[in-house]
Amino acid sequence: MSTVASANQSFDPIALRQAVLDMAYNGSSVHIACAFSIVEILAVLYRKHLRYPDGRYDHPLRDYLVLSKGHGVMAQYACLIEMGWIEPGAATNYFKDGTRLHGLSEVGIPGLEVTSGSLGHGLSVGAGLAFAAKRRNTRQMCYAIVGDGEANEGPIWEALLFAAQFKLDNLIVIIDKNNYQAMGLTSEVLSTEDLETKLVAFGFDATTIDGHDEGAIDSALSIYQSRKDGRPKGIVAETIKGRGISFMENNNTWHYRRLSANTYGAASTELRRRSR
């Protein structure tokens, strides 16, 4: 099995963020900041780690990427456009009547494995996929991206118990710890602090990294892919909600705010400046 990413697929975080901005502006959609915190995680996964035999998103022996925190879906759409699995026009047509892409992850879109957004669903489905792959000895990996706010949900903790009990060492849970949820700081709403400690207490092999450091993400993924010790793996990715646009970073109104012509222009200008 090989990765499908080819030389012309760079999954450049700045380009991905621009694609998210384009979608969000054209569709007047929310959840921009939720997408920005996971851009580097997705970029590294798609660029180097996810294996899609024959370049097929539906290949039975593919690796699974489960976006449990469905609110970040625009970042994944940006990657899927680059994969060639959804048409580039999806960005300009986002949310138009009769189109396919919703504001949260839904099965049926090439490359999306779960219907999430109602939170606490995807990780369990990912655990089932990992269970199936282990049962068949296929060497498939399952990556599940979970939000630290999403970890308020009970089924997340049920799924962690299950993963440890059934020794799903092909499951890598990546927690996007951007410290915010819809209405405020996670520490102030329903704290999920000490995630690494919690994961370890649940039987995981876990580590904490800078979730915007592509080298650190790559290295953690590589180590965990090869460590077949019966323990599921957890990566606490410390991220910044709204990362990449100064006026969105750690400004939680961008969980819900929509772009105006002005803010879209200012954000795009900032990305262009960073790309130089």
Partner 1 sequence: MRRTLAALLVEAARAHPEVLILTGDHGYALFDELRKTRPEQYVNCGVAEQNMVGVAAGMAKAGFRPIVYGLASFIPIRVLEQIKLDVCYEGLPVIFLGDGAGLVYSTLGASHQCFEDVAALRPLPNISIFSPADRFELVWSFKRARRLNGPSYLRLGKADLGDVHAEPLPDEFDHCVRGVIDASRENVCLASGSMVAISKRVIEREGLDYDLYSVLKLKKLEPQQILDLCQGRKRIIVVEEHSIYGGLGSAVAEIIAGRLQCSFQIGGIQDRFTEHCGTYEYLLSHHQLDEAAILNLLQTH
**Interacting residue ranges for partner 1, rule: CB under 8 A:** 60, 106-108, 113-115, 118, 120-133, 135-136, 154-155, 158-159, 161-162, 165
Q: How far is the CB of 155 from partner 1 (least distance, A)?
A: 4
Choose between 173 and 209: whose C-beta lies nearer to partner 1: 173
Choose between 161 and 223: whose C-beta lies nearer to partner 1: 161
Choose between 116 and 208: whose C-beta lies nearer to partner 1: 116
Choose between 147 and 242: whose C-beta lies nearer to partner 1: 147
Choose between 171 and 240: whose C-beta lies nearer to partner 1: 171
Choose between 155 and 184: whose C-beta lies nearer to partner 1: 155
Q: How far is the CB of 123 from partner 1 (least distance, A)?
A: 7
Q: How far is the CB of 124 from partner 1 (least distance, A)?
A: 2
- Distance, in Å, from the CA atom of 103 to the CA atom of 95, rounded to the nearest integer, reads 8
Q: How far is the CB of 127 from partner 1 (least distance, A)?
A: 5
Q: How far is the CB of 129 from partner 1 (least distance, A)?
A: 4
Q: How far is the CB of 26 from partner 1 (least distance, A)?
A: 26
- The contacts of residue 229 (CB under 8 Å, 6+ apart) are 169, 205
